[in-house]
Chains A and B, each alone.
Chain A
Amino acid sequence: MKKIQEKISTITKFPMEVISSTPKIEITGNNYIYIENHMGIKILTPELTVIRIKSGYMVAEGEKINVAEINKDFVYLTGIFSSFRFEKNLE
């Protein structure tokens, strides 16, 4: 299924995040993270934020982390981020 979507994307030149629910992540400096196609918040604390995405989890660590805006389409996180990683399973 994923491969078919990728093929359609290359043929039609549509972005992947439009065709499938692949997350699109924009990081501006170490203060702003913008995530499209998320699947909700798993953990939310000022030091650690875990966002559920299609392929697993996106973990952002830092200080004073806030959710500036959240809706069905995107999450906009602000704060002072120190690390950012993807994880398949959350231990």
Chain B
Amino acid sequence: MIYISKVWKFIQGYVIISIKGYNIEKLINKAIQSEISLYDIEKGINSAKLTIIPAEFKNFSRLAKKYKCKIKILNKNGLFRFMLFIRLNLLYIAGIAMSAVLIYFLTQRVWIINITGNSQLDKTSILNTCSNDGLYFGCNKNLLDCKKVAENLKIKYKNISWINISLKGAAVHIKLSEGKENTSKEVNGNPCNIVSLYDCQIASIVTDKGTPQVKKNDIVKAGDTLISARLIPSGNEENPVTDIVKAQGIVRGIVKRNISFTIPFNTKEKQYTGKVKNQYTIKFFNKSFNLKSKIPFEQKDTYKEVVQLKIGESCPLPIYICKDINKEFIYTPVKTDINTAKKTAEKKITEHIIENYSIDSDIISVNKKMQSTENSLQVSCEIISEENIGKEELYENTGGNSSDGPKENSNIS
């Protein structure tokens, strides 16, 4: 009821007025006796704010004079006023309508194609295939058949084992998983030798499959066969087997490595001055808009930060804000004494071992030689370690040292 009367009031139009006086209640009572409807009466101290229909305003103001109340018009509103507003602000209304149409048009298009799970397949080639099936940037999402696109992708790329294409808002998410590489299958299935990775002395050999070609304390070179794929009967077997298998076993060798480096006594150290200047680039699809200004720094380090604008979590927009953070630095000369240089050298050697040796390697010895000159400390270091030296290599039937037992160990001393 009250809502219907509000709509009717809007159609008729209304005036919001304020009244000041001492007989406001009496004025209201007299007005309603004179069949004047009043709306939204908010009473204050000796004042009130109310809404009245324009047709009844004249009578009401006459009554107000009678009761010594002052009337002030605060606002006029209603359908007529609204129509007038539209007429006077036609461009404004057209702009609202245009933007509504534009938003509708843009939300009906695909603006983001997100591909995840591809390691071997190229993103561009996937996009090209998708574009043949009607999935491209700016395509109509109502005409898009995700199932068909997925099927065609799977037919074209045989190594796709699973694919899912989903449409969320204006973004298409292509999730796929690829099968394992064929090359590894070949190595796994085919017979292979185990060859040495480094020049070393054999520390131990445990053969699971194949024929061992070396024994403990033998010295081998990189590439020499350690366990052959060819089974050679020793003559003691009840049922001798001659076959070519995939050699398996663990061969550990003692490997010597030398490293040498110099630690200068006078060095320059990088020091940040604390001055930072940011540069911004706005990327819209593939187009970049540079907002870059000149950087007054001579020496600087640049870090990049990319932020993609999003509407909620599931609706990323094709707008990226790239921020280049430039930090100024200067080189300050640092003088190092011999003890500090020695400590640095030891730290460097430890770091080298951690970085280059696998976790199953045993470091047998580290022999350091440090020689101090006028300007630097010359460091040479011999690291002896025991580690796995075997590597699988495909067995070749014709030629090669794997076909010949004794020749494989041509370097055994």
A residues in contact (CB < 8 Å) with B: 40-46, 66-72, 76
Closest to A66 in B: B42
**Majority-rule SS of B interface residues:** mixed
Given A69-B39, A70-B32, A71-B37, A76 and B25 touching (CB < 8 A)? no
In the complex, how many angstroms separate the beta carbon of B17 from the nearest chain A beta carbon? 14
- For the complex, what is the distance from the CA of A1 to the CA of B39, rounded to whole Å? 35
Q: Is B41 an interface residue (CB 8 A)?
A: yes
Say yes or no: A69 contacts B37, CB within 8 Å. Answer: yes
> Looking across the interface, which residue of chain A has its beta carbon closest to that of B43?
A44
Q: With A and B bound together, what is the CA distance between A68 and B4 in angstroms?
A: 13
Q: Quick check: B33 and A72 within 8 Å, CB to CB?
A: yes
A44 to B23, CA, bound (A): 11
**Given A71-B35, A72-B35, A76-B2, A66-B41 contact (CB < 8 Å):** yes
A70 touches B37 (CB 8 A): yes
Q: Interface readout for B31-63 with A: 1 if CB under 8 Å, 0 if not?
A: 011011111111100001010000000000000
Task: Indicate if the CB atoms of B38 and A70 lie closer than 8 Å.
Answer: yes
**Knowing A69-B5, A69-B37, A76-B2 touch, does A41 contact B42 (C-beta < 8 A)?**
no
Q: How far is the CB of B34 from chain A (nearest CB, A)?
A: 9
Q: A68 vs B38: C-alpha distance in the bound complex, in angstroms?
A: 8
Q: How far is the CA of A78 from the CA of B5 in the complex (A)?
A: 15
A42 touches B25 (CB 8 A): yes
What residue in chain B is nearest A71 (Cβ atoms)? Answer: B37
Residues on the A chain within 8 Å of B38, using CB: 67, 69-71
User: Chain B nearest CB: distance from A34 CB in Å?
Assistant: 8
A sample of 30 inter-chain contacts (CB < 8 A) reads: A40-B25, A40-B28, A40-B32, A41-B25, A41-B28, A42-B25, A44-B24, A44-B28, A44-B43, A45-B43, A46-B42, A46-B43, A66-B41, A66-B43, A67-B41, A68-B39, A68-B40, A69-B2, A69-B5, A69-B39, A69-B40, A70-B28, A70-B37, A70-B38, A70-B39, A70-B41, A71-B35, A71-B36, A71-B38, A72-B32
CA distance A42 to B23 in the complex (A): 11
Tell me the complex Cα distance, A71–B37, Å. Answer: 5
Inter-chain residue pair count (beta carbon < 8 A):
51
Which residues of B does A touch, CB under 8 Å? 2, 5, 24-25, 28-29, 32-33, 35-43, 48, 50
Q: How far is A70 from B42 in the complex, measured between Cα atoms in Å?
A: 12
Q: How far is the CB of B346 from chain A (nearest CB, A)?
A: 79
Q: Which residues of A contact B48 (CB under 8 A)?
A: 44
CB proximity of B4 to chain A, nearest CB, Å:
11
Quick check: A71 and B32 within 8 Å, CB to CB?
yes
* Smallest CB separation, A62 vs chain B (Å): 13
Q: Which of B24, B32, B42 neighbours the largest number of chain A CB atoms within 10 Å of its CB? A: B32
Nearest opposing residue in chain A for B51, CB measure? A69
The 3 closest A-B pairs by CB, nearest first: A40-B29, A67-B41, A71-B37
Distance in angstroms between the alpha carbons of A43 and B28 in the assembled complex = 11
Question: Please, how many angstroms separate the alpha-carbon atoms of A46 and B45 in the complex?
Answer: 10
Shortest distance in angstroms between A3's beta carbon and chain B's nearest beta carbon? 29
Q: Would A43 and B39 count as touching, CB distance under 8 A?
A: no
Between B24, B28, B50, the greatest number of chain A beta carbons within 10 A of the residue's beta carbon is seen for B28
The residue on B at minimum CB distance from A40 is B29
Chain A contacts for B33, CB-based, 8 A: 40, 72
Name which residue of chain A comes closest to B9, CB basis.
A69
Having A40-B29, A69-B37, A71-B35, one finds 20 other A-B pairs with CB under 8 Å, namely: A40-B32, A41-B28, A41-B29, A44-B24, A44-B25, A44-B41, A46-B42, A66-B41, A67-B38, A67-B40, A67-B50, A68-B39, A68-B40, A69-B2, A69-B5, A69-B40, A70-B38, A71-B37, A71-B38, A76-B2
